[in-house]
Chain A
């Protein structure tokens, strides 16, 4: 039963990949090697497609692999397989958390956890910044990941930040236009950035 096998292989990936999106990658490589459902080259394509489509990267990868193997039903099986461990584990954690919410030790732990979580998200933000604002660097090491500055990208970033935030800052709070712009849905800014990217050929 190939559908069951698809579900099971991705269930295992979902169970052991900790830390989101690209953590699924080594497990997908293993699935590729042990089942031959898709090749390493297809896996590389998968990453590129995932980066250019909405949705969590891990889910996109599972869907893509499942689709290559067995069409839409295959995609559904692999995707459900990937998310099932998350659902089970989180439902259990949520129950435990609710029970111990008022516990002083748990509260104290979260006092330390929250800034750490913020720090981790800030680190993710940093790596997105490196990719978005710099050309790809050559060589090994921390500083080598920075290539040349993409100035048009930096200008776009500054303009976006101003548009999103000026309307909420002291001096401009009463400016209705700026206020309205800062309240726009993120998808508006994303779409505008895509258009700017196409017009000014950002990928080159």
Chain B
């Protein structure tokens, strides 16, 4: 129970300071969950984001469910998710009830123009950190840059990039570099599937 409460509170704290959605949560996740608590590694976090972008629902919620589930199974996944949505529920309810023109207030607009600059720098830092664990050689560098360019210029669903990159990974690692693993192991693999 204590662990579940810890999951709930950790994610609630992150939900309260994440401005601008799932990607903006990344630097805070890296700090709280990877560096401070060691619940997951940077690599796992990248995997969760890749999957979170091709599965239904909100990326922040998908990632929270993943991490909670890894820590404490199904109950952990639910606790983390409830944690990440809790601050939104409270804050939005209060704002909607009391401040009808919140988003038009000059002070709010100025503050958030400043916050957006900070969110940009935070995500930039997060990307640099992630690239250290995900970009390991020329091929992965090419994939990363192509996806970046493609996602910026083309109006295509992220699923396309993720699926294509997965296939490239399989082709490059399994089909071309056959010598990396023993042939017997591969035969076993084929028999199983």
Residue numbers of A with Cβ under 8 A of B are 14-21, 24, 45, 48-60, 63-64, 67-68, 72, 75-76, 79, 82-83, 85-87, 89-91, 93-94, 97, 103-105, 107-129, 131-133, 142, 153, 156-157, 160-161, 164-165, 185-187, 189-190, 192-198, 200-204
CB distance from B108 to the nearest CB of A (A): 6
- Chain B residues within an 8 Å CB radius of A86: 55-58, 61-62, 65, 81
Q: Of A52, A116, A189, which one neighbours B165 at CB under 8 angstroms?
A: A116
List the A side residues contacting B55 at CB < 8 Å.
18, 86, 89-90, 93
Instruction: Please determine whether A83 and B81 come into contact, CB atoms closer than 8 angstroms.
Output: yes
By beta carbon, the residue of chain A nearest B65 is A90
Chain B residues with Cβ under 8 A from A91's Cβ? 65, 69, 74, 77
When the two chains form their complex, are residues A68 and B96 in contact, meaning their CB atoms are under 8 A apart? yes
| Max chain B Cβ within 10 angstroms of own Cβ: one of A18, A49, A132, A193 | A193
Contact A109 B88 (CB under 8 A): no
Minimum CB–CB distance from A109 to chain B (whole Å) comes to 4
Please judge, given known A-B contacts A21-B58, A54-B15, A128-B123, whether A94 and B66 are in contact too, CB under 8 Å.
Answer: yes
What residues of chain B lie closer than 8 Å to A68, measured between beta carbons?
96
SS class, residues of chain A in contact with chain B: helix
Contact with A along B1-34 (1 / 0, CB 8 A): 0000000000000011111111111111001000
B42 CB, min distance to chain A CBs, angstroms: 10
A121 touching B126 in the complex, CB below 8 Å, given contacts A54-B18, A89-B56: yes
Are A49 and B95 in contact, CB atoms less than 8 angstroms apart? yes
Known: A86-B57, A186-B31. A18 touches B157 (CB 8 A): yes
Q: Which residues of A contact B52 (CB under 8 A)?
A: 20, 90
Q: Count A-B pairs with CB separation below 8 Å.
A: 388
Instruction: Show the binding face of B for A, using Cβ within 8 Å.
Output: 15-28, 31, 43, 46-47, 49-62, 65-66, 69-70, 74, 77-78, 81, 84-85, 87-89, 91-93, 95-97, 102-104, 106-127, 130-131, 133-135, 140-141, 143-148, 150-153, 157-159, 161-162, 164-170, 172-174, 181, 185-186, 189
Asked if A128 and B173 make an inter-chain contact with CB atoms under 8 angstroms apart, the answer reads no
In the bound complex, do residue B152 and residue A123 qualify as a contact, i.e. CB atoms below 8 Å apart?
yes
Known: A18-B157, A204-B110. 12 other contacts (CB 8 A): A20-B59, A21-B22, A59-B85, A63-B93, A112-B167, A116-B147, A119-B144, A125-B120, A128-B23, A156-B117, A190-B122, A197-B111
